[in-house]
Amino acid sequence: MSRIGIRAILGVAIIAPIVALARRPAPEVAAKLPEPRPTTAAAPASGVQTLVLAGGCFWGVEAVYEHIKGVTEAVSGYAGGTKATADYEQVSSGATGHAEAVRVTYDPSEVSLEKLLQVFFSVVHDPTQLNRQGPDVGPQYRSAIFFANDEQARVARAYIDQLTEAKAFKRPIVTQVVKLEGFYPAEEYHQDFAERNPTHPYIVFHDKPKVDRLRAEYAELFR
């Protein structure tokens, strides 16, 4: 059975306990995280930039970033493994080294890297969950920032340190910050999945609340 089928079953199976909680953040996720502290590094990058993030099922990660002003494209895909194993069925086994990830293309003159990371840690997922998010379990659902350059790595690590010092979460942040070796777009049926399937149970109970939270807490970013 495909994972779309599995996720449909999961969505139906957990509707009852989730109805009352669907629009509330997970207990381990802070209400709204502090703004990233200014750093004394190089000037912000100019021109269109890309950032690859993994935070559980890529449907929801993509859905959140598609609603942020300054983001020109969000593409679901795979990162962390090799091109030869970058397909849905193999990645779903959890044995390829890949994580479900999203490549975010953005204009830093409209939205900063720091702001994208603030949303990542507060809205997109719970960064204290190891190798899982919600009903999805396995290393392919791990929390990770795949940096493309030293500046991205520095900013990401600095913000994780800031959140740790502020005790923003009850449990330790487990997000990996690792060099991007390759990003491989997922199959076409995974792209824009939330937008094309708004009534899918998984989207309704796991991903739509993330978009709603983005709208509520980051109204200045929402589009």
pLDDT digits (tens, 9 = 90+) for 52-67: 999 999 999 999 999 9
Low-confidence ranges of the chain (pLDDT < 70): 1-31, 39-45
Instruction: Please give the pLDDT value at position 31.
Output: 55
Q: What is the pLDDT of residue 38?
A: 76
The phi and psi torsions of 200 (rounded to 5 degrees) equal: -60, 130
Specify the 3-state DSSP secondary structure of 170: coil
Identify the DSSP state of 36: P
- pLDDT tens string 170-197: 999 999 999 999 999 999 999 999 999 9
Residue of 10, 51, 53, 57 with catalytic role: 57
pTM across the whole model? 0.87
Set out the domains of the chain in order of their start, with CATH numbers: 51-196 (3.30.1060.10)
SS3 104: strand
In DSSP terms, 54 is beta-bridged to 144
Q: Annotated catalytic, 61?
A: no
